[in-house]
Chains A and B, each alone.
Chain A
Amino acid sequence: MLPAALYLALFIAYPFGMSIYLSLSDAQAGNQKWSYIGTANYSKVQSYDLLANDFVLGRFPSEAAARAFVSERPLLKVTTFPAPGGGHRATLTAPGRSIALLDMEKEEDATFAASTILQDTSWTVRQAGGKAEVVAHEKESAVTLGTFTTRKAVDLAATKLLVPAATRVDIHGTGVLQDPNFLLALKNTFKYTFGTEILKLLIGVPCALLLNRKFGGRRLLRGLVVIPWVIPIAISAQAWLWILDSTYSVINWCLVHWGVLTPQHIINFRGDKDLAMLSVIAVNVWRGFPFTTIIILAGLTAIPDEILERARLEGASAFQRFVHIISPMVRPILMVSLLFSVIFSFTDFNTIWIITKGGPFDQTQVLATYAYQLGVNAGYLGKGAATSLFMFPIMAVMVFFMLQFLRREA
Chain B
Amino acid sequence: MSSRGSLFWRRIRPSLLSYAGLAPFLAFALFPFYWMLITSLKADPNLYDLKRNPFWFSSVDGNTHQPYHKDIIVPASFSEGVIQWKVAQGAATTRSDSVQNPEPIAFIGAQKIESPVDGRLAAIRVPSGKIAHPNEVIGFIEVASPSLTHYRYLISTPFYRWLRVSLVTGLVVMLITLLLAVPAAYALARLDFRGNRMLGIVIFLTYLIPPTILFIPFSQFVGALKIDNTIWSLILTYPTFTVPFCTWLLMGFFRSVPKEIEERALLDGATRMQILRLVVIPVVLPGIITAAIFAFTLSFQEYVYGLTFISSTINRTLPVGITVDMVRGDVYFWGPLMAAAVLGSIPVVIVYALSLDYFISGMTTGAVK
Contact = CB atoms under 8 A, between A and B. Distances in A.
B184 interface: yes
Interface stretch (B100-108, B134-142, B317-325): B317-325
Interface string A237-261: 1111111010010100100000000
Given A4-B247, A210-B25, A399 B208 contact: yes
Contacts of B180: 3-4, 7
A234 B323 contact: yes
B203 interface: yes
B345 A236 contact: yes
A230 B368 contact: no
Given A12-B214, A226-B359, A232-B319, A210 B206 contact: no
Given A16-B217, A391-B213, A232 B300 contact: yes
B216 A381 contact: yes
A340 interface: yes
A343 B208 contact: yes
B230 to A, nearest CB: 17
Interface in B9-60: 11-12, 14-15, 17-19, 21-22, 25-26, 28-30, 32-33, 35-36, 39, 47-48, 50, 54-55
A91 B71 CA distance: 81
A207 interface: yes
Task: Count chain A CB atoms within 10 A of each CB in B32, B180, B186, B237 and give the residue with the most.
Answer: B32
Nearest to B184: A4
Interface string A335-364: 011001001000111100110000000000
Contacts of B345: 231-232, 235-236
Interface size class on chain B is 35 or more
Interface string A354-387: 1000000000000110011001100001001100
Interface size class on chain A is 35 or more
B89 interface: no
Given A8-B206, A221-B22, A286 B216 contact: no
Nearest to A301: B364
Nearest to B182: A4
A384 B22 contact: no
B212 interface: yes
A70 interface: no
Contacts of A290: 29
A11 B240 contact: yes
A398 B54 CA distance: 44
Given A8-B240, A232-B319, A340-B367, A375 B208 contact: no
B160 interface: no
Contacts of A1: 183-184, 186-188, 191
A228 B39 contact: no
B175 to A, nearest CB: 13
Nearest to B55: A250
B201 interface: yes
Contacts of A211: 22
B369 to A, nearest CB: 9
B26 A235 contact: no
B344 interface: yes
Contacts of A161: none
B30 A224 contact: yes
A238 B29 contact: no
A240 to B, nearest CB: 6
Given A210-B25, A225-B29, A391 B212 contact: yes
A7 B368 contact: no
A372 B54 contact: no
A219 B15 CA distance: 13
Given A5-B184, A381-B220, A215 B212 contact: no
A371 B219 CA distance: 13
Contacts of A385: 216-217
A298 B364 contact: yes
Given A234-B322, A349-B303, A11 B239 contact: yes
A64 B341 CA distance: 74
Interface string B346-369: 001100110010011001100110
Contact of A207 (B25, B36, B340, B348): B25
Interface stretch (B72-80, B144-152, B330-338): B330-338
B207 to A, nearest CB: 9
B35 A242 contact: yes
B287 interface: no
A110 interface: no
B181 interface: yes
Contacts of B91: none
Contact of B334 (A12, A16, A240, A242): A242
Contacts of A336: 367-368
Interface in A275-300: 286, 289-291, 294-295, 298
Please list the 7 inter-chain residue pairs (A to B) with the smallest Cβ-Cβ separation, ordered nearest first.
Answer: A234-B319, A215-B15, A4-B184, A1-B187, A347-B210, A18-B217, A368-B212
29 contacts: A1-B186, A1-B188, A8-B240, A11-B237, A16-B209, A22-B217, A210-B22, A214-B14, A216-B15, A221-B26, A227-B29, A232-B303, A232-B319, A234-B301, A238-B322, A238-B338, A239-B338, A250-B54, A263-B50, A286-B32, A368-B210, A372-B212, A372-B304, A375-B215, A376-B215, A381-B220, A385-B216, A392-B213, A403-B201
Given A216-B12, A347-B210, 7 more contacts: A3-B180, A18-B220, A215-B14, A223-B356, A234-B323, A236-B36, A353-B303
